[in-house]
Structures are given as structure tokens and as C-alpha cells.
Amino acid sequence: MADKLFFVLRNLSRLMERPKALQERIFTKLFDAAEIAKFTKEQYEAYEDSLKVYRDWQSTIATAEHKGEEKGMEKGLKQGRAEGRVEGRVEERIENARKLKKLGVATDIISQATGLSAEEIGSL
């Protein structure tokens, strides 16, 4: 690896393209940096401006995703709580109907008190 690195440093200005023997990630970064280093001042400023725009967009997208996740979680919690309340009310009605049925209360009275149908009460 050290021999390859010394070769690149010694011959970088003469290399037109990257040799096949230098395909490791470290050499990719080195050649990319060398490409940027040979930019003219105008090209470098344009490159830096494009990087800034890219990073700004990435930040904007990440912020939007984060806010979207927060809103989704909040909406999901509200919906889950609402569904839980409905299920809790139904279970409470069924439990009350069971208790009234054990006490021997008439089915029509249990139906009026709990809102359950006579068939539902009969199946308890």
C-alpha cells in the first residue's frame, strides 16, 4: 500500500487517469481531491457554491422529514387514543351487561342501559 501511495504522489501530475492497480477507496478520494485542486478559481468557486446548495437542500429535506415524522407520530397517537377510547367504551358496556345479567335484570332493560342489542346480551 505504501509503494502505491508513493507512486501516486510522485506521478500524480503525469497521470491522465487512475490505473487499475489504484482502485482502493483511499485512492479514489485522493484522485477526487486532485481533480478539485486543479480547478481554476472560477471553477472552484462554482464547485463550492454547488456544494453549499446541495448541503442546504439536504438539510432542508432532513428537517422536513423530521417534522413529517413528528406530525405523523402525533396524528397516530391521537388516532390510537381515540380508537382505544371507543374500544374501552364497548368493553365497559359489555362488562356492565354481564354484571346486570348476573343480577337477573331483564334483557330489554340491559339493552336500554348499555346500548347493546338483545342478541349481543344473549351471547354473553
Q: What's the domain range around 11?
A: 1-38
Please check whether residue 18 lies inside any domain of the structure.
yes
Please check whether residue 55 lies inside any domain of the structure.
no
Each residue's pLDDT expressed in tens, for the chain with a length of 124 residues? 777 777 766 776 676 666 777 777 777 777 777 788 888 999 999 999 999 999 999 999 999 999 999 999 999 999 999 888 888 888 888 888 888 888 888 888 888 888 888 888 888 7
DSSP 1-52: -HHHHHHHHHHGGG-SS--GGG-SHHHHHHHHHHHHHT--HHHHHHHHHHHH
Please check whether residue 24 lies inside any domain of the structure.
yes
Please check whether residue 22 lies inside any domain of the structure.
yes
- Per the confidence metrics, is the pTM higher than 0.75? no
Please check whether residue 15 lies inside any domain of the structure.
yes
| Total domains in the fold of the chain | 1
Please check whether residue 2 lies inside any domain of the structure.
yes
CA proximity to 108, closest of 73, 6, 120? 120
